[in-house]
Chains A and B, each alone.
Chain A
């Protein structure tokens, strides 16, 4: 199963099958922890995906995901609903992750989740590894390490937009709200981040 489904596709589905985020937030603000559990179930995958791709370290990602939800619960009385809950939650996650990395002050070793076996049935993967691509001689784990190293070579700001847009499918406008920048700045960061990644992965392209 693919973890990071498209940002726009997943939110309405989640709300269709149960109470809306707004209702759950109001109930949680009144002290209903079960309502907050539902929000954890709803957004855990996406927040873990964000922190994992930002750190390329699953232990750090688990710690950060926990910190993000705990922080959100503590800050819930001050949530005014001016932005959507997931935008607010993503903002907490991005800030927490960037601060976490600054505190650590040096890069941690990679600790990666396994590729799902479904990848072998993916057309893109098939094309990359069977045709005349330089990647054809690369094992799956080698490919994974190269990708994550290239991602970690980016600055925090650039990595944030690449992870949110290219991996999680979040539109520019939403990213702009989360990172507190204009849409133009988000596009510009995305452009430079991709160029840098292309340079990092030049031997395979």
Chain B
């Protein structure tokens, strides 16, 4: 059926008056003035340069130009996003572990942390606390054998 239609159309096309075809071909001899065409091209090129200078490519355009496959095949783009996201997550976890192990200021018993002008943090010796006797008591034990505690108001009554 389609073939029949095509062949009919071909026949119809062949039936075009040859005079009309020749007349239409004569229009090809209509030629613009060369100077006007040159000026027109110059106008186009000037306009293009104006746009080029003015135009700040937006992020979408830049991405589209540099990674066209991302936009041409959205499924690959989404997959790539997942991979990047997963990678960042992994890096984040890894660096967190690393930080726990390395950072922090440690000093020996006799040292305190001090800032070193060279940029690092170093431990320096400082005054250490005096050694205290093992039997040191900050408060004396109650004496007099009376272990009862008298309320404050009754002291005056006595």
Q: How far is the CB of A79 from chain B (nearest CB, A)?
A: 10
Query: Interface residues of B: mostly helix, strand, loop or mixed?
Result: helix
Report the separation of the CA atoms of residues A112 and B51 in the bound assembly, to the nearest whole angstrom: 31
Of residues 70 through 91 on chain B, the ones whose CB sits less than 8 Å from some CB of chain A are 72
Q: Is the CB of B13 within 8 A of A115?
A: no
Q: Is the CB of B44 within 8 A of A29?
A: no
Chain B residues closer than 8 Å to A66, beta-carbon distance: 40, 43-44, 47
Q: Is the CB of A70 within 8 A of B24?
A: no
Chain A residues closer than 8 Å to B26, beta-carbon distance: 115, 119, 122, 124-125, 128, 143, 147
Of residues 55 through 79 on chain B, the ones whose CB sits less than 8 Å from some CB of chain A are 57, 61, 64-65, 68, 72
Residue of chain A at shortest CB distance from B25: A124
Of residues 77 through 123 on chain A, the ones whose CB sits less than 8 Å from some CB of chain B are 77-78, 80, 112-116, 118-119, 122
Instruction: Say whether B52 faces chain A, with CB atoms less than 8 Å apart.
Output: yes
Of residues 25 through 66 on chain A, the ones whose CB sits less than 8 Å from some CB of chain B are 29-31, 33, 36-37, 40-41, 44-45, 48, 52-53, 58, 62, 65-66
Q: Is the CB of B65 within 8 A of A77?
A: yes
Chain A residues closer than 8 Å to B44, beta-carbon distance: 40, 44, 65-66, 69-70
Q: Is the CB of A65 within 8 A of B40?
A: yes
User: Which of B9, B10, B30 meets A144, CB within 8 Å?
Assistant: B30
Q: Is the CB of B32 within 8 A of A58?
A: yes
Chain A residues closer than 8 Å to B57, beta-carbon distance: 77
Instruction: Say whether B12 faces chain A, with CB atoms less than 8 Å apart.
Output: yes
Q: Is the CB of A119 within 8 A of B29?
A: yes
Instruction: Say whether A194 faces chain B, with CB atoms less than 8 Å apart.
Output: yes
- A167 with B29: in contact, given A48-B37, A48-B40, A77-B61 (CB under 8 Å)? no
Choose, from B15-23, B114-122, B134-142, the stretch at the interface. B15-23
**Contacts A116-B30, A151-B27 known; 13 new A-B pairs at CB < 8 A:** A3-B30, A70-B44, A70-B47, A113-B33, A114-B30, A127-B22, A128-B19, A143-B26, A144-B30, A147-B23, A162-B24, A191-B12, A201-B23
**Interface of B toward A, CB cutoff 8 Å:** 2, 5-6, 9-10, 12-13, 16-17, 19-33, 36-37, 40-41, 43-45, 47-49, 51-52, 57, 61, 64-65, 68, 72
